[in-house]
Amino acid sequence: MIHQALLKGSLLGWTEYQTGHCNSVILISQLGLVALEPVLSDEDFSEQLARFAAAGVAPLTAAQRISWSQRISEAWVNPRLIADLPLDLQGTPFQLQVWQALLQIPRGQTRSYAQIAASIGKPRAIRAVGTACGANPIPFLVPCHRVLRSDGSLGGYAFGLKMKQQLLEREKAL
């Protein structure tokens, strides 16, 4: 569920987006993509819409919706395009470090939480890396699903282990 703190600031708006696995909601700011999160149920979607309305966040215009949907779809298919997609990642300095490290994991490969912690110079922050992965507002493009436990098991995933497994299998097939 999109964190309330992301609804503050200069958001342009929101729109629904089909990721191929499920319906999602995207939030866009003046600087870029703020969040892309799956809608797990109609009830979740209704709650999100109510929060958007309460925060004064309106739907994107048709032109904005088409433009952003196309850009995200292209980045989803071709991960090299993620670097060209303007992201407005909003988090703590630690979260931002972790999310930048996630962007370095090649498609079809995985890393452990311990490897991510070591890569950002905080080898003892393994659980904090897991927490940062769980707070990732752009989970399909900032690939927290590519992070596994040290023993190679899936670990956790905010949108369920079934979706994490599906994402990993899809990437290996590409």
Residue 94 contacts residue 132 (beta carbons within 8 Å): yes
What is the spatial order of strands in the sheet that 23-29 belongs to? 11-18, 23-29, 33-38
What integer pLDDT is reported at residue 1 of this predicted model?
45
Q: Which domain holds residue 130?
A: 93-173
Same-domain check for residues 78 and 98:
no
Q: Domains in the chain: how many in total?
A: 2
Tokens of 151: 């023993």
Q: Pick the residue with more confidence: 83 or 88?
A: 88
Residue 49 contacts residue 41 (beta carbons within 8 Å): no
Same-domain check for residues 80 and 115:
no
The per-residue pLDDT of the chain, averaged, comes to: 86
Which residues does 75 contact at the CB level (< 8 Å), separation at least 6? 81, 82, 84, 85, 141
Classify residue 34 by its DSSP letter.
Answer: E
Same-domain check for residues 55 and 100:
no
Instruction: Indicate which residues carry an active-site annotation.
Output: 144
Instruction: Give the mean pLDDT of 70-93.
Output: 85
Same-domain check for residues 73 and 141:
no
Same-domain check for residues 47 and 110:
no
What is the reported pTM? 0.84
Same-domain check for residues 67 and 100:
no
pLDDT for 121-156, tens place per residue?
999 999 999 999 999 999 888 999 999 999 999 988
- Highest mean pLDDT (candidates 79-93, 127-141, 159-173): 127-141
Same-domain check for residues 101 and 169:
yes
Same-domain check for residues 11 and 63:
yes
Cα(38)–Cα(29) distance, integer angstroms: 18
pLDDT for 20-48, tens place per residue?
667 788 889 888 999 887 777 778 888 88
Please identify, among 59, 84, 109, the residue that sits at the C-terminal boundary of a domain.
Answer: 84
**Which residues are paired to 26 by β-bridges?**
15, 36
